[in-house]
Homo-oligomer: A and B are copies of this chain.
Amino acid sequence: MGCRAGLRGHQGSKEEEQLTSIVETGRLRIDGQRLLDRLSALSRVGGIAGTTGSSRLAFTDADRAGRRLVTGWMEDLGLQLSVDGIGNVVGLWLPPGIDPAAPPVMTGSHIDTVGTGGRYDGNLGVLAGLEVIETLAAEGVTPARPLAVAFFSNEEGSRFQPDMMGSLVYVGGMALEEAHAVEGIDGATVGAELARIGGRGPSPCPGPAPHRFVELHIEQGPVLEEAGVGLGVVEGVQGISWTEVVVEGQSNHAGTTPMGLRRDAGYVAAEITTFVRRLALEFGHPQVATVGAIDLHPNLINVVAATAKLTVDLRNTDNDRLLEAERQLARELDAVADREGVSITTRTLTRFDPVVFDPEVVDLVEATAHRLGITTMRLPSGAGHDAQMLARVCPTAMVFTPSENGISHNPAEHTDPADLEAGANVLLHTMLALAAAD
């Protein structure tokens, strides 16, 4: 029945066995419908009425319900679960005859969502991991090492910052106590909310380094679709710089205050927003820059705004360019404060350097896709992902599937089922090959 896939065989007698097994396992394919069914079931947890999207902000009741559903599936597959102090869940697959002490080839992602999330972001990477294991188990294929599927807490950072908090803590980039003390947009703390939903486990932080890590994720951008390819080979992750900007001007009557005597925080927010766009265009691709949130006070039609709070999101794959963008923003804030007679204060919310993935794992993803007849292109990730944290502790790469119209963080997020299936198959064969490698 079973065969051992990709066993390293140096004896002549084993080589033929290995070739056979590679040919055999090369025909293995995940069950696309089962993957879609799990994605659909999970999307209904915290489902947004009238859409196929979900709202499962980290450590909310909806997040707890999502965790229960996915850990249930992990248990059904016989995975050995470990839950750590920040709520990261790792499901380890140890089929008989495998060395339980060998570091596993790990895949995974997250199951928390933004407030207006789609059904693929994060969930795909976790549920495709389950699909990989279920497929191998059903076919009686035993990899050369343990495999693991993880979901990391609070990847989105919509409620508690920074984003990618769970994987950051997993790799030792943030102390558990520090993470627990983080206060969210609703005033609750990570520690209290984690305790409330029963999400905290006994496994230590940082967690054990995997042998290799590979994450499947939707692109969340339009580049693959525009290029007409089936799969993205992700070479790295853009550096991310998030700044909160607070402008303090002077509230005043909109009819009676001559233009020259205003200290209009709303206008200054608009100037910063248009500056940020110009900066991105001047820097050129792959620099992106976004003001996604603006809050004016008192935010009334006939009152010059007294204060404005806005966020600036800068990203670039080149850290020197990102640093330069940050410097230019800082200079502009000084200049506009001076011109407009307002005071401006800033606070760094998140700052991650760009990440370069392991070239061998990247090459393997690409070769695997081509072996399966799937067209690819190489690209950086514009979004932050758990894989960039795991890259600190083991060779890592990512696989992207196309996003229809590039839409993400939106219930309308969609990826063609054939692309989802192709991505999961590339994940399957990449993991098998990684398990076989040294």
Contacts and interface: CB of A to CB of B under 8 A. Distances in A.
A303 interface: yes
Contact of A382 (B238, B253, B296, B300): B253
Contact of A251 (B238, B252, B410): B410
Nearest to A240: B255
A295 B18 CA distance: 62
Interface in A29-52: none
Interface string A252-289: 11111111010010110111011001001100011111
A300 B255 contact: no
Interface in A312-328: 313, 315
Contacts of A250: 407
B274 A292 contact: no
Tell which of A270, A287, A294, A295 has the most Cβ of chain B within 10 Å.
Answer: A270
Contacts of A158: 300
B288 A295 contact: no
A222 interface: yes
Nearest to A237: B255
B406 A254 contact: no
Contacts of A255: 220-221, 238, 240, 288, 313, 315, 381-384
A291 interface: yes
Interface string A367-382: 0000000000000011
A151 interface: no
Contact of A267 (B220, B274, B303, B305): B274
Given A255-B220, A256-B221, A406-B257, A292 B288 contact: no
Interface residues of A, number: 72
B311 A301 contact: yes
A242 interface: yes
Copy number in this complex?
2
A403 B158 CA distance: 43
Contacts of A126: none
A433 to B, nearest CB: 27
A253 B408 contact: yes
Contacts of A407: 250-252
A293 interface: yes
A240 B253 CA distance: 13
B406 A256 contact: yes
A280 B255 CA distance: 12
A349 interface: yes
A345 interface: no
A357 to B, nearest CB: 16
Contacts of A223: 256, 258
Nearest to A238: B255
Interface of A: 114-116, 157-158, 163, 219-223, 226, 238, 240, 242, 250-259, 261, 264, 266-267, 269-271, 273-274, 277, 280-281, 285-296, 298-306, 311, 313, 315, 349, 381-384, 403, 406-410
10 contacts: A116-B298, A116-B303, A158-B300, A163-B302, A221-B252, A222-B258, A254-B290, A257-B288, A259-B280, A270-B291
